[in-house]
Structure 1
């Protein structure tokens, strides 16, 4: 498996932002950090504006693969500045197709478990001034993903990410995303993702409704 590490680390508090004629409170505009303390609720100095749809223990860390940046830059013919997706950790060697629901990984002194794909919102489109960005994210499944904290600790930019345990090898983050966003494999797809150990309660509840 390819070497994994944190290319860039980011945190940020919610701020009032103006996108064209739309004003909103959002924490998507995070700032680069050399290190940050990761706790069960997330990184110190980090926060979310809409706590109904963002944040919580199962969304303590947001990852986004660095390799996707060149893909999007080519598609939209524009440069993207990290973190274009409001992620905490821009990572290499950790594509959605390489990481699995339930994966337990260490980074710095902390240990986390991947538990759901990211469900992006239109703020990503506004942040990058591309109205179609959200749709393209959902079409590809290149949304990034979230993890819960199993052990708190200090995480540094450049930290190596080590896979400690893989709970299952059926449901990658990408497959889970395609099931959630595109109804891949219909009811059976939902059942398959539901069997993945470590899946977040929110995703479990959403998918359970498809098979009742």
Structure 2
């Protein structure tokens, strides 16, 4: 399976929202090839390095096809739902969470990347779109996008191919992962299997282990609700 990378986007830290929260979400198209290192694209910045970027979230892809759904559902904000709106590094059409699995390995330009986890939407999306419950809407719909870790550094440019080269966990599409994390939240058998996926990011392995140990679901409020 193969897709086209329509844009590669990079962001510099800039103030976001009325309180000027530092954020790199406003990413702009790169004009040529960009070097991809183990921790991300050169020139891409993150205002919150605890929750964004790093080896397990080196590259973010948000499906381009989702923008039409958002424009239809939120027509008053339609001008904001265009490529780059969700702060993605890679703009790719024809691919969604139903088409990819945890651990999928792709050739992206000359780099090799591996799908490590889905995106957990946070309150910065509320500021980005000027809508107080935007992060919750993204979570509820499952239109979250995902992150790649870097297996082999290289270069990526607009027009390069994104080619699936290996799929070790075909049963674990991101659509199934979303159902487990946010709907069938205490399916203990599925959580146990999920926690053991070797390709899954360590933070999501720990999330699954916590649910198994506590037999309860963590609160999402701090992540999706904009701080006072």
TM-score (norm 2): 0.86
1:90 is matched with 91
| 1:13-52 matches, cutoff 5 A | 13-17=12-16, 19=17, 21-34=18-31, 35-52=33-50
Gaps of 5+ in 1: none
Q: Is the 8 A contact 2:196 2:205 kept in 1?
A: no
Distance 2:205 2:131 in 1: 31
Measured in 2, the distance between the counterparts of 1:211 and 1:51 equals 28
How far apart in 1 are the matches of 2:206 and 2:184?
Answer: 15
Corresponding residue of 2:127: 126
1:93 to partner: Cα distance: 2.6
Cα deviation, residue 177, structure 1: 2.5
Residue of structure 1 equivalent to 2:116: 115
Matched residue, 1:181: 182
Q: Are the equivalent residues in 2 in contact too, given 1:115–1:148 (CA < 8 A)?
A: yes
Name the residue aligned to 1:5. Answer: 4
Would you say how many aligned residue pairs link Structure 1 and Structure 2? 209
Partner of 2:67: 69
Structure 2: runs of 5+ lacking an equivalent? 214-228
Q: Normalization by structure 1: what TM-score?
A: 0.93
**What's the CA shift for 1:8?**
1.7
Deviations 1:32-84 (A, max 9, x none): 11331111010000121111111210100001101101001100001323211
In terms of fraction of residues, the more strand-rich structure is 1
Q: 1: distance between equivalents of 2:87 and 2:210?
A: 29
Task: Please tell me whether the aligned partners of residues 6 and 159 of structure 2 are also in contact (alpha carbons under 8 angstroms).
Answer: yes
Alignment check: 8 A CA contact 2:64 2:83 kept: no
